[in-house]
Amino acid sequence: MRIRSMNWFQVEEYLRDEDRCVWPLGSTEQHAGLSLCVDAILAQRVAIDAAEPLGVPVYPVMPFGCSPYFSAYPGTVSLRVETLLAVARDVVGSMYQSGFRRVLIVNGHGGNAAVANLCRELMAELPEMSLKFHNWWLGSEVMDKANKIAPHPSHANWFENFPWTRLADVVVPSDEKAVVNIDQIKVSGPARVRELLGDGSFGGAYQMGDEAMEALWAVAVEETRAELERPWSIQL
């Protein structure tokens, strides 16, 4: 159930018996040979696949996040932290005004981590509201499954290379890339980050078989759905 496929009458009717919704967060940033919108694509898809069987509405994905370290790569869009937090505060506030009280934020981008702290602030301000911030790719079950498939699940390598994040006219390398020094990346400015990363991948294999990736996706969907089904700090 997607908000874009509902009108306000239907939302009002839904809220008579339920108060959960889902909001995916993504980014638009370099992902080597994959789509610039990998994080948005994956956050939205995992949110929809997890929530639709439960009849929980999913809001449109937030397509921009905080990605200043990749700003030397054309196509990347980066919000300032204060901008992202202001948008998130207004979005969640609007959900509250509508009548939603339990909101699962499904995050697909590490640079959006500050929103997790904002959730705690908002729950202090609105004690009748329960917010969950779920980094879908960092779930324990997802990481366990990924590490059984191949080493070094990371940015812009096989771990994010799904049939729905590939570009039809781009062939990714068949060999493996040396794993980069993440600690050095963290203390470098955008120009140096591009120099260190080259094509943008953090290293390792560029692609795995579709069967393995679909199995990984199934785990991600189930783990995300579990966040909707587990107890919240408030119950309807």
The CATH fold assigned to 3-229 is Rossmann fold (3.40.50)
Encoded tokens for 202:
């953090």
pLDDT of residue 29: 98
pTM: 0.96
Residue 236 has pLDDT above 60, yes or no: no
Digit-coded pLDDT (tens) for 35-78: 999 999 999 999 999 999 999 999 999 999 999 999 999 999 99
pLDDT of residue 233: 82
Domain boundaries, the chain: 3-229
